[in-house]
Structure 1
């Protein structure tokens, strides 16, 4: 799989399998069973993680966050795409054609 294309607003994403996620002090932490690494998703990363339990477009994800939090559209898009690209490169989410809609 080629992973240099980046994530766009039109892509669909979903949580990858094989991750153990827990709440710890208001933040989500995760253990990837696949690679044995721990991740601190933070508070907003944890919210995003919960929202991508089922396949969702990045546009829909951003729209949901903008409607629920005090953030403008452009800032939200940039932050969400940055977070998603990070977890995608770590093989924690599935993107695009990998997502069975």
Structure 2
């Protein structure tokens, strides 16, 4: 059974089989598994870097709030939404 929602306490790590490159300050990715290209953008690329090793969503939020001018509630919502998208596409794994 697949979990529908993720929480700030869940930990995530990059999935295998992705080719990632920096292009003009943004990260782009090719998934070998599904053959799709993704533009992660600047902040998405930063999140991707953070999940090279297992990390909780709350740790990601804390790091982004210290690096960018963003409120906690908005940051939490955006991070969880982004992680849910990556999970749905099979690009990350929950630990």
Q: TM-score, normalised by structure 1?
A: 0.90
Distance 1:47 1:21 in 2: 12
CA distance in 2, matches of 1:84, 1:2: 14
Offset at residue 83 of structure 1 (A): 0.5
Give the equivalent residue in structure 2 for 1:20.
19
Counterpart position of 1:2: 2
Structure 1 gap segments, 5+ residues each: none
Q: Which residue of structure 2 lines up, in the alignment, with residue 69 of structure 1?
A: 68
User: In the alignment, which residue of structure 1 is the partner of 2:93?
Assistant: 94
Q: Deviations over 1:11-53 (max 9, x none)?
A: 0011111100001111100000011110010111001000111
Q: What is the correspondence of 1:51-66 to structure 2 with a 5 Å cutoff?
A: 51-66=50-65
Question: Retained in 2: the 8 A contact 1:3–1:89?
Answer: no
Q: 1:3, CA displacement in angstroms?
A: 4.1
C-alpha root-mean-square deviation of aligned residues, in Å? 0.9
Runs of 4+ in 1 over 2 A off after TM superposition: none
Matched residue pairs, number?
A: 95
